Structure 1
């Protein structure tokens, strides 16, 4: 639902269903990430890979 999607976006959680629909409609020749891959991808895009570039 639109309200649920808006709530997820407000707290920084993109909607997997919207992503899948977009990929199938716009990029049918490209593979669709699994829900786990999608979550990790969005998490890395938002917070980085978790590596600070230092020694620890």
Structure 2
């Protein structure tokens, strides 16, 4: 029988969910989830480094390289 999660474990899980949600709201995905996805579904591709991933998400958020006319400021 599985033991119920303690208060600290539940708080840790909640804080991770809140942080992940906040990152997604500002356009920053979870690098660990991204890297696991690439390794699992695209074994022939090398995942971006964490710095490359951050820059890629930031560029996507602010429309860098987008020719449709989007600009933040």
Instruction: With the length of structure 2 as denominator, give the TM-score of the two structures.
Output: 0.58
Aligned to 1:20: 35
Aligned to 2:61: 46
Find runs of 4+ consecutive structure 1 residues off by over 4 angstroms.
none
Asked if the contact 2:27–2:57 (Cα under 8 Å) also holds between the matched residues in 1, the reply is: no
5+ long unaligned stretches in structure 1: 51-56
Give 1 or 2 for the bigger CA radius of gyration: 2
- Which sits farther off after the overlay, 3-12 or 21-30? 3-12
Size of the aligned set, in residue pairs, is 50
Instruction: With the length of structure 1 as denominator, give the TM-score of the two structures.
Output: 0.72
